[in-house]
């Protein structure tokens, strides 16, 4: 591997390489050597940008979690449009793409990574916690608009939806669940709370 060659946007290149390794071979295969080999750079590049490999993984997870923030704003802004079930099914499908499911597995697989993330983030499993907050925010907005029952327990519905959706998408090596399967889970969880057509 040549040295002294400039790498543009090394952090993002390393993050993308880590995702590819994670998707192809799972959390146990994710090592600094595997990441740098996948990225086509020297191992020292990773250590120039990150204190250690767990610091790299923590920043990878935080970067991917930050993407939920944009989705959360878009979902909350969509309150009052379409159907509640349709909006939630789409949001959950976007959240639980292959990378997110693999990152949840990574966080549960690596104790040091999980501990590091908990020092700076909310309790719970990173990504799932943020997804739950996104869903709760949306359900609250829909409740304010009268499309969710006024007495609906948003703080119970949100983690129930996230947990059920995660189970649909987890451990999938091939095709993700069909849209109808995701809609069925959402409509079942919201059966007593939704006030708009399912």
**Domain spanning 7-49, CATH class:** mainly alpha
Statement: residue 103 has pLDDT above 90? no
Q: What pLDDT does residue 93 have?
A: 93
Most confident of 19-28, 62-71, 148-157: 148-157
Domain boundaries 67-189, corresponding CATH code: 1.10.357
Share of the chain above pLDDT 90, in %: 47
d(CA 29, CA 37): 12
As a whole number of angstroms, the distance between CA 47 and CA 92 comes to: 35
- Which pLDDT score is estimated for 4? 43
Alpha-carbon distance values, 181 to 89, 100, 153, 188 (Å):
9, 19, 23, 11
pLDDT tens, position by position, 48-76: 989 999 899 999 988 888 878 788 999 99
Length of the chain, in residues: 198
Stretch 124-150: mean pLDDT = 92
User: Is residue 5's pLDDT more than 70?
Assistant: no
DSSP secondary structure of the chain? --SS---TTHHHHHHHHHHHHHHHH-GGG--HHHHHHHHTS-HHHHHHHSSSHHHHHHHHHHHHHHHHHHHHHHHHHTTTSS-HHHHHHHHHHHHTSHHHHHHHHHHHH-HHHHHHHHHHS-SS-TTHHHHHHHHHHHHHHHHHTTSB-TT--HHHHHHHHHHHHHHHHTT-SSPPPPHHHHHHHHHHHTTTTB-S--
* Predicted pLDDT of residue 132: 95
Q: Tell me which of 11-15, 24-28, 46-50, 171-175 is least confident.
A: 171-175
Distances, alpha carbon 42 to alpha carbons 5, 12, 13, 18, 51, in Å: 10, 15, 12, 14, 16
Distance from C-alpha of 125 to C-alpha of 121, rounded to nearest angstrom: 10
Q: Is pLDDT of 1 > 50?
A: no
Answer positive or negative: Cα dihedral of 70, 104, 181, 156: negative
Mean pLDDT of 13-19: 93
CATH 1.10.357 domain locations along the chain: 67-189
**Average pLDDT value over all residues in the chain:** 87
Q: In this model, does residue 21 exceed pLDDT 70?
A: yes
Where are the CATH 1.10.10 domain residues in the chain? Answer: 7-49
């Amino acid at each position: 591997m040549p040295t002294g060659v400039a790498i543009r946007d090394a952090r993002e290149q390393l993050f993308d390489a880590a995702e590819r390794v994670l998707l192809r071979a799972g959390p146990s295969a994710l090592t600094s050597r595997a990441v740098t080999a996948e990225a086509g750079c020297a191992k020292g590049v990773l250590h120039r940008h990150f204190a250690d490999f767990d610091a790299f993984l923590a920043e990878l997870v935080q970067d991917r979690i930050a993407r939920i923030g944009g989705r959360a704003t878009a979902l909350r802004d969509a309150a009052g449009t379409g159907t509640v079930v349709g909006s939630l099914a789409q949001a959950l499908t976007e959240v639980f793409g292959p990378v997110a499911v693999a990152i949840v597995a990574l966080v549960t697989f690596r104790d040091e990574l999980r501990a590091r993330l908990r020092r700076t983030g909310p309790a719970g499993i990173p990504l799932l916690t943020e997804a739950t907050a996104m869903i709760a925010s949306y359900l609250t907005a829909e409740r304010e608009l009268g499309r969710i029952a006024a007495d609906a327990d948003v703080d119970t519905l949100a983690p129930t939806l996230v947990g059920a959706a995660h189970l649909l998408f987890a451990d999938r090596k091939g095709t993700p669940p069909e849209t109808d399967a995701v809609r069925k889970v959402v409509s079942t969880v919201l059966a007593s709370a939704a006030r708009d057509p399912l």
